[in-house]
Amino acid sequence: MKITIIGTGYVGLVSGTCFAEWGNTVVCVDKNLEKIAQLKQGKLPIYEPGLEELVVSNHSAGRLSFTTDLIGAMKGAGMIFIAVGTPPRTGHGDADLSFVYLAAKEIAQSLEDDAIVVVKSTVPVGTGDVVEKIISSVRPTGSFSVASNPEFLREGSAITDFRHPDRVVIGVEDARAKEAMTTLYSPLAKYETPVVVTRRRASELIKYASNAFLATKVTFINELADLCEQVGTNVIELALGVGLDHRIGKSFLNAGPGYGGSCFPKDTLALLRTAQDHGVSLRIVEETVAANEARKRRMALKVIDAVGGDVDGKTISVLGLTFKPDTDDMRDAPSVPLIETLQRFGAKIRAYDPVGSKNAAQLLENVELFDDPYECARDADAVVVITEWDVICRLDLIRLKESMRFPVLVDLRNAFSVENAEAAGFQIWSVGRPAPRQAVPGARSLPVTFDAAPGYLGLATAAPLLCAAPEFG
């Protein structure tokens, strides 16, 4: 099948490449001449593990191509995917659908009979109806279908998520579109992947509801982490005990500085606006958004407390800038409000990120960026871990401590064990974990360590887990 993908951003490029890997002929279209030229040379506009190799191999095999010519790209295409951005409108919170509607108008000019237009972009309920009306207004005669096919790709593991998804959601209004869409995803049948076929509006809402629920789950464990600190217990143990309940699940129960990225912040706000437009109150989602925004800046107060209550004139080294590991995405990253807050209190900021520094430089002012974490920490009054990159989790703590002015480690991802950090000479502040010396009055202390099964606690003597791998957005 020939497939046209409009938009070569994260969703469009990953989806188009994976469709090509399944043997389809895929043409990715974008108006950005420079981006298309780079893609033809195998240079990607985003960082995603494993994607570059797939782009190069499928491009070389002739299954994947890139162009700015929409009319040419649509010739003979049985499916046209709209995968353009839907950023939040400034000052409104709802999704900006102008790129989606523009794509629909341009598609209508050259759409062939019986073609299926698939909205892959994350859009509010009813967007597919509008896309159908736009196309119909341009070509009132001729047959076509409009379907919804939301993506559920996590940055940093998008290839795996596409190849082995939890489910595929398809929203259609006619049998022909249903048959074509299920056939497209038939390569997943060998994995017994559930394919959920719904009406178009239900499909659109499933995407927003999923992300809002996960955002709420992240915020819930973050608030419980605050309670753990006050009552002298460990949020990691709490999350394990809660997450082993199969009705709840252990994913997204890793406490931290708040969620960020391209999905959760944008989609929760868009869902709230949709609810408001229909006279419905989503109080839980409202509180989730408010609590998460407050948390990002409140983490700066934890850093200030760690250095004695005043950061004016002090040097703070930040390790990790992107909103999660294995991506260069800085959108709504917790590092930005934390750094800005510390700067307002007079701190001098140095920062390190293995791949996100270029994007971070466009958002942050007066921040000295480094290519080496140890150099970043040199003569610092405190080191703050914000993103749990593997290279950061594996740092030599003794070497790190020796380069600093004062041995203060603020671990906002619980990337290091308290015992190992203190053994290296650090004063460690973390999220939802009391230091071993901060014993609860009257409580009996037990030597709890990690056993041989990763992620399970016991009284075994195996080495402690040094770095967890939280799943954020």
Show which residues are catalytic: 263
Tokens for 42? 């195998």
HSE-CB of 373 using CA atoms within 13 angstroms:
26
CB 365 within 8 A of CB 332: no
| Residue listed under structure tokens 């041995």 | 407
Sign of the C-alpha dihedral computed for residues 317, 321, 326 and 328 taken in this order: negative
CB 376 within 8 A of CB 353: no
Tokens for 178? 């249903």
CA separation for the pair 83, 100 (Å, rounded): 8
Cα 116 to Cα 2, 109, 112, 144, distances in angstroms:
11, 14, 9, 6
Three-class SS string for the chain?
CEEEEECCCHHHHHHHHHHHHCCCEEEEECCCHHHHHHHHCCCCCCCCCCHHHHHHHHHHCCCEEEECCHHHHHCCCCEEEECCCCCECCCCCCECCHHHHHHHHHHHHHCCCCEEEEECCCCCCCHHHHHHHHHHHHCCCCCEEEEECCCCCCCCCHHHHHHCCCCEEEECCCHHHHHHHHHHCHHHHHHCCCEEEECHHHHHHHHHHHHHHHHHHHHHHHHHHHHHHHHCCCHHHHHHHHHCCCCCCCCCCCCCCCCCCCCHHHHHHHHHHHHHHCCCCCHHHHHHHHHHHHHHHHHHHHHHHHCCCCCCCCEEEEECCCCCCCCCCCCCCCHHHHHHHHHHCCCEEEEECCCCHHHHHCCCCCEEEECCHHHHHCCCCEEEECCCCHHHHCCCHHHHHHCCCCCEEEECCCCCCHHHHHHCCCEEEECCCCCCCCCCCCCCCCCCEECCCCCCEECCCCCCCCCCCCCCC
Minimal CA–CA distance to 338: which of 364, 369, 312, 375?
364
